[in-house]
Amino acid sequence: MKRKIALVTGGYTGESVISLKSAAVVEKTIDRNLYDVYKILIYPGDWHFLSASGEKIPVDLNDFSIRIGDDKITFDGVFNILHGSPGEDGKLAGYFDMIGIPYTTCDQLSSAITMNKGYTKAIVDDIEELHIAKSLQLFENSAKNLKRVQDELTLPLFIKPNNGGSSIGMSKVKTWEELPEALDKAFAEDKQVLVEEFVSGREFSIGCYKGKGEITVLPATEIVSSKEFFDYEAKYVAGVTEEITPGRMSDEEVALVNRIIAKIYEKLNCKGAIRVDYFLQHETGKFYFIEVNTVPGQTETSLISQQVKAIGMEVRDFYTELIEEMFII
């Protein structure tokens, strides 16, 4: 008997567009000899399965089931590819925990914490060899906080929504005159905002996952952007960014990064695949942590897909490992 897998996509934020693109790739790549896949779309007040004939079949939220004709379909597990809320912030994880369905991503607590950039940095701060840029976490857009940023931090700065993804609402500030507008932009996306000092370095993004009981750190991708930073356009518009996989690092740098990434995965109690963004500082080569993404994109050109292929692995087999891992008690 093939296992029935719910492929969860959509979402409540602007990242739903990326989530749908990721889901389309996962849907056609998953090994159909092993799994029956049902794509479940989750929107506010509208959770449904779209049948082959285009019929919208509602999800029964009592047990996360659907009914196709006379058949009730229940799921053995969930492949979560829903970026942002509620798939990446722990809300879905908590729901699936309550009804007893396993899923491919982090548990409720780890998802909620890692969605918050400031809290994540506080937890990983004591990992040996890991460095963090000086920052402030703001909970309101006030004149008092504006002055606090100017008093405590040094230009240039990165301003970013604390719980956002895909670099939406993010700005680089070079002068104090630019700060109020950047804060307005970030607070329009989130009730919490992170203000960080700029670190000059080479930027990388690296995948890590647990499969067959083992943590695997994938080859890092070096991000060379024609933009000043890896913003939404740099991430999703072709030709704006050069992505080099594996990234240009010495053997010593690779060993350093792999040590740190494995520790981040364990410290945050991650499950499934994650992607960590980091800098290697120009002057020192020090590892500066940026953020962790616990539901990384799975489009055909996504960084994780590039990195999986770089180790000579088929993406289909990578998905099989993620799915099988969630059934290990």
Q: What is the pLDDT of residues 92-135, one digit of tens each?
A: 999 999 999 999 999 999 999 999 888 999 999 999 999 999 99
Note the pLDDT of residue 14.
83
Virtual CA dihedral for 139, 117, 97, 41, nearest 10 degrees? 90
> What per-residue confidence (pLDDT) applies to 289?
97
Q: What is the pTM of this model?
A: 0.89
- Name the token pair of 109: 């607590």
Which pLDDT score is estimated for 236? 47
The encoded tokens of residue 232 equal 């939404």
Q: What is the pLDDT of residue 229?
A: 52
Say what the pLDDT of residue 163 is: 76
The sign of the CA dihedral 287, 290, 293, 294 is: positive
Q: CA-CA distance, 131 to 328, in Å (whole number)?
A: 34
Low-confidence ranges of the chain (pLDDT < 50): 166, 230-236
